[in-house]
Structure formats: structure tokens, C-alpha cells
């Protein structure tokens, strides 16, 4: 079980980094309104953390964080579809 969860989280982080970087470049190029939203959220993150990111880096971070969050939600919904707290994988142990 820890291996499956850890593997899923590692894969989710890797995919989020790769896809997030590519997707953020697409957003900056082809969807300026969405890029402005990402820049605004990125500016908020920069203000809260005090880290000096560029607008592109902050926007990419927003996309990566969103993808990682979505991955986690989908993983846990698929793992426990009825919301009972008992995973369908518990019977394996």
C-alpha cells in the first residue's frame, strides 16, 4: 500500500512538473486572460513566500500546483469511490 501511494505521488509530481511547464508556456502564449490570472496568483504567492520568482515561473508554479491538486483528488476519489474511508485496496492486506 505505501508503495502504491508513494508511487502515485511520485508519478503525479513528475507528470505535473513536465505537463505544467509545457502547459504554462501554452497559456502564456495563447490565452492572455488566463495568463493574467496566473500572474496575479503568482504575485500573491511571491508576496506570501517572499521568493523572487519571475511572472513566468510563478505562473508555471500555479499550473503545477493545480495539476498536482487535481491528480491527488482523482487518485483519492478512485481509491475510495464511496467515501466510506475504507479503501478498495484494504482487502489486499
What DSSP string describes the chain? -HHHHHHHHHHHHHHHHHHHHHHHHHHHHH-HHHHHHHHHHHHHHHHHH-----HHHHHHHHHHHHHHHHHHHHHHHHHSTTSSS--TTGGG-
Q: Say which residues have a Cβ less than 8 Å from residue 20's Cβ, sequence separation at least 6.
A: 60, 63, 64, 66, 67
> According to the model, what pLDDT value does residue 18 have?
86
Predicted pLDDT at 1: 55
Q: Is the pLDDT of residue 93 over 70?
A: no
Of 67 and 2, which is predicted with more confidence?
A: 67
Across 5-11, average pLDDT = 76
**Per-residue pLDDT, 2:** 63
Cell of 62: 500555479
Q: How far apart are CA 46 and CA 34, in angstroms?
A: 18
CA distance 2 to 62: 28
pTM: 0.65
State residue 77's pLDDT score.
81
The pLDDT tens digits for 27-79 are: 888 888 888 887 888 788 888 888 887 777 777 878 888 888 888 888 778 87
Amino acid at each position: 500500500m505505501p508503495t502504491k501511494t508513494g508511487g502515485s505521488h511520485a508519478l503525479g509530481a513528475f507528470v505535473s512538473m513536465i505537463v505544467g511547464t509545457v502547459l504554462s508556456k501554452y497559456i502564456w502564449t495563447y490565452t492572455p486572460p488566463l495568463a493574467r490570472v496566473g500572474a496575479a496568483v503568482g504575485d500573491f504567492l511571491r508576496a506570501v513566500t517572499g521568493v523572487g520568482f519571475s511572472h513566468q515561473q510563478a505562473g508555471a508554479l500555479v499550473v503545477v500546483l493545480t495539476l498536482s491538486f487535481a491528480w491527488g483528488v482523482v487518485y483519492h476519489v478512485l481509491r475510495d469511490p464511496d467515501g466510506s474511508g475504507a479503501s478498495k485496496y484494504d482487502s489486499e492486506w
